Structure 1
Amino acid sequence: MAEPVVEVVGVYDADGGVVGELTYVVGHLLGRTECSLCDVTHGPVRRKPDWDAMAARLPVVVRLVHRNETTGSERAAHDATGLPVVLGVRADGGHTVLLGPAALRALEGSVAAFETALRAALAVEGGAPGSPRR
């Protein structure tokens, strides 16, 4: 049996840092860049308050990173799937894809739909309801 998921990592299809974020914003405004995970977590100017409230309700910690901030094992996991992606980190350190690019795109930026989809994926993948929150 697979180890339970003890953490969720959302990986944006964008680079972090000032240059990366400005590049994304300009590309997004020009219609050249898209990240459906960004659409779920952020409004036009800042992170959505609904996102923070939803993340606090989840049974596991959610960590958000940009593609240039991922660890080697996270990179290996998202290289196989594409970006953006939501990964589950198992108790043994392994990764599983909880929500891939198509699933995230289908959410159309909805925090409520994200929560429903993530909870369903955690139920299938063995999310640890009793996992300690950090």
Structure 2
Amino acid sequence: MRTEALLFGGVAAFFAGSAVLYGVWSHFDPAGTAALVVACGMAAVIAFFCAAHYRRKGLRPQDRGDAEVADGAGPLEFFPPESHWPVVVAAGFAVAATGVVYGLWLFLIGVGVLGAGVCGMVFQYAGRDSGRVG
């Protein structure tokens, strides 16, 4: 993950420099400057995630030259067998999208249902023991 962090850090620095130069040369055109600043921010978020992941977990087997295929084997992650929360999220999104056409009250109801569905999906297995070793 260190290589990815450096790569995306370089991309973020490129977009930051481009945003400054574009902003000065275009007399701070709001659309182009904002797009470059957002691109810099997105690359910086990915670089931060990769750097934090590398700092927490160290080298992956893919990063080591002496690693064997078996070093990367093992349980990957927990995949839930069934969940009703995706249906709630879909219904909330449908109601919110319909609310854009029919009124704010329906949109707010849809956002509430969508928020409940997303929270339900995120925290459905929050108390579950991950079973990881190490």
TM-score tier after normalising by the smaller chain length: under 0.3
Please identify the structure whose Cα radius of gyration is greater: 2
Larger helix fraction of residues: 2
Q: Taking structure 1 as the reference length, what is the TM-score of the superposition?
A: 0.22
